Amino acid sequence: MQSPIYTDQKLLSALASGDRKVTEMIYQQNYSIINGWLIKNGGSSADSADLFQEALVVLFGKAQDSDFTLTCSIGTYLFAISKHLWYKKLQRQSREPIQLDERLGGDEDEQGIVSEDDINAHHEREVHFEQLDAALEQIGEPCRSLLKAFYHHDKSMHVIAADFGYTNPENAKTQKYKCLGRLRKLFYNMQAK
Amino acid sequence: MSISNNIWEVAEAYVAGTLTESELGELAGRMQSDTAFAKEFNESTQLIGSITASGKNKRFKTMVGEITQEQTSKQKSKRKFININLLPQVWKTAAVAASVAILTSTITIWSLKPAIKRNDSQYTNISREVAVTKKMQAGQQAELKQLREIIKEGNKPTPPPSDVRYSGTGFALTNDGYFVTSNHVIHNNNKSDFDSVYIQSHDGQYYKAYLVTYDADADIAIMKVEKKNFRFGKGELPYTIATSKAGLGSQIFTLGFPNEDIVYAEGYIHAKNGIEGNDQQYTLQLMAEHGQSGSPVIDQKGMVIGILTAIGSQGEGTNYGSSYAVSSKALIDLMHKIPNEPHLNKTNKLSRLSREEQIAKMEMYTFSVKVYKK
């Protein structure tokens, strides 16, 4: 079987849309390099699986912005992000004191590829989603399940209408809007606090 | 569509970019004249954007998690034989924060189990926590295979199709199914969070057991095999349970299951009392590992003098290789609380045997205790 040839930019937009084949390919092409590096730097295979997953999520998040373009290959970017995340993790655990800038200074070609901002933006994004989840947990049923079905599990209004026992998708949609209204109130009240 | 319609409908259309020029114009006008509406509308579009992105993010993480598992299991199967050596060293953390989400949940569940109980860093309970992910341990694989075979055979007892969470060791109190193990094997951190407990007897068969009584302070649980007419071995138990405390320096040995195979270890009574002078316990000089909680501690004559409960962590005031056992006296006290108290064997058949023979006899009555949770 011949696999189609992708350019990195095409790969990136496929990754951004959550294409499984492409994600698998990116995983296979890059994981072992990061794993090898991490083992040499005091990590385990479990660490590198963790790290690599997070790096993929960072890239996925960045790629959501259609204006985002890579200034290097996907592999280089993922490697740089993984290193960054690893040094941060070590710092947090303070297993050994590491000056992030010093260590990164050694890899000159990577400077400018990954900035602290990318990682920070990723963390902010995650925190924002967590807050949203917290609000979602509080709105009660059937709203919680309905919104999760639509937004998290990507179910159509037809399926939801059938699952939740609404006579037609239009009614389910009306309910969804009501639920969104409640979520908005809860979420922005929480934010105000 | 008129923007006087449902605000959410408009917001959705706005986010999707399907509003017409004239609708956008109308919207802009309303937002300028009505600040309350503008605020609400902005919040609505932001919320839709966020929850949509959040859902997408979640689906992506789930997918990446699945890919990781597939890829690791491929690699694991290649390296299976190297990993076997590591088997006893990997532990699942006691508290896996549920909030850590899919991103890490399949991966970082292994780390050294922290010392628990009594806030004492020199004291570690030694139940063994077992992999949640089936692929993680070669031994587990073998066990699952065995389970499947048992299930195929149909007429034999079958454990639930959930994963083993903890395992420890147990030994028989009576031949008809009463046995004892450490309470913390089944009640981890004082929570009875198990669905079922099975023992795997010396011939590899699984038998379901129920809890008869327990003493959390002493760390003993008495259980019984559910099966009717169950017998551990052919005759009465070959060993007896000591009713008084053994002396300082007594030579002792133990049998237990730090992994799938039974393991022998020997040592001596290092102090008459346990941690913080606890007189329900002994301090032993004995190398023990996780999974050996609940193992019998036996003296030279084949009397069970205690139940292994914890190992001392390395640190100030503890010797390397020290461990703690609950005195059999505490076990006898607890047995008195059982209505229709089972009769303990009074004849010791081990006293004249060599150590090898003693072990061979004990093996029939010592087994792995597996705690399951869905």
- Residue B369 pLDDT exceeds 80: yes
Full DSSP string of B74-125 = HHHHHHHHHHGGGGGG--B-S---GGGHHHHHTTTTBSPPPP-STT-TTEEE
Q: Using the Cα atoms of residue B17, residue B22, residue B24 and residue B26 in order, give the sign of their dihedral.
A: negative
pLDDT above 60 (res B374): no
Q: How far apart are CA B195 and CA B149, in angstroms?
A: 22
pLDDT higher than 60, residue B361 = yes
| Ranges under pLDDT 50 in chain A | 1-3, 97-110
Phi and psi based region of residue B219 (left: phi greater than 0; alpha: psi -120 to 50; beta: remaining)? left
Residue A116 burial (C-beta neighbours within 10 Å; 0-12, 13-18, 19+): exposed
Secondary element (H or E) of residue B54 = helix B35-83
pLDDT at residue B298 tops 70: yes
- Judge whether A1-95 and A122-193 match in fold: no
Cβ pair B120, B275 in contact under 8 A: yes
**What is the predicted pLDDT for the residue at B162?**
54
Q: What is the pLDDT of residue B305?
A: 95
Neighbours of B316 (CB within 10 A): 6
pLDDT for residue B106? 26
CA dist B373 and B357 (Å) reads: 37
Pairing status of strand B220-225 against strand B240-241: unpaired
Cβ of B357: how many Cβ atoms within 10 Å? 14
* Banded pLDDT at B313 (limits 50, 70, 90): low
Please give the average per-residue pLDDT across B204-223, as a whole number: 89
Least confident of A22-36, B98-112, B211-225, B352-366: B98-112
Distance CA B181, CA B178 (A): 10
Higher pLDDT, B141 or B73: B73
Question: pLDDT tens digit string along B119-146?
Answer: 344 556 666 655 443 334 454 455 555 5
How far apart CA A16 and CA A64 sit, in angstroms, is 6
- Enumerate chain B positions whose Cβ falls within 8 A of a Cβ in A: 6, 8-9, 40, 43-44, 47-48, 50-61, 63-65, 67-68, 71-72, 99, 103-104, 107-108, 110
ipTM over 0.90? The verdict is no
CATH of region A122-193, choose from 1.10.10, 3.30.2010, 1.20.120, 1.10.260: 1.10.10
Looking at chain A, which residue has its C-alpha nearest residue B54? A129
Highest mean pLDDT among B115-124, B258-267, B276-285, B294-303: B294-303
Query: Considering CB atoms only, which of A20, A45, A133 is closest to B63?
Result: A20
B-chain residue closest to A127, CA distance: B54
Q: What is the pLDDT of residue B223?
A: 93
CB contact under 8 Å between B72 and A45, yes or no, is yes
Residue A99, pLDDT score: 47
- Is residue B111 over pLDDT 50? no
pTM for this prediction: 0.46
CA B297, CA B307: separation in Å to the nearest integer?
6
Which fold, A1-95? Rna Polymerase Sigma Factor; Chain: A (1.10.1740)
Whether B8 and A180 lie within 8 Å, measured CB to CB: yes
Average pLDDT of chain B, as a whole number: 75
Q: How many CB pairs under 8 A join A and B?
A: 92
* HEC per residue, chain A: CCCCCCCHHHHHHHHHCCCHHHHHHHHHHHHHHHHHHHHHCCCCHHHHHHHHHHHHHHHHHHHCCCCCCCCCCHHHHHHHHHHHHHHHHHHHHCCCCCCHHHHHHCCHHHCCCCCHHHHHHHHHHHHHHHHHHHHHHHCCCCHHHHHHHHHHCCCCHHHHHHHHCCCCHHHHHHHHHHHHHHHHHHHHHHHHC
* Nearest partner of A187 among B14, B48, B61, judged by Cα: B48
More confident residue, A191 or B58: B58
User: Per-residue b/e over B70-109, b at no fewer than 16 CB within 10 Å?
Assistant: ebbeeebeeeeeeeeeebbebbbeeeeeeeebbbbbbbbb
Supply the pLDDT for residue B188.
65
Rounded-to-integer distance, Cα B57 and Cα A129, Å = 9
Q: Give the pLDDT of residue B76.
A: 55
Residues forming beta bridges with residue B281, ordered by sequence position: B326
**pLDDT at res. B241:** 93
**Tokens (6 digits) for B145:** 């295979």
What's residue B105's pLDDT?
27
More confident residue, B4 or A167: A167
The pLDDT score that the predictor gives to residue A177 is 92
Closest chain A C-alpha to B75 CA, distance in angstroms: 11
| Contact flag B44-A180 (C-beta cutoff 8 Å) | yes
Q: Tell whether the model's pLDDT for residue B239 goes beyond 90.
A: yes
Per-domain boundaries in chain A: 1-95, 122-193
> From the CA of B56, how many Å to the nearest CA of chain A?
7
Q: Is the CB of A20 inside 8 Å of chain B's CB atoms? A: yes
Distance CA B307, CA B290 (A): 14
pLDDT value of position A109? 45
CA distance B277 to B269: 14
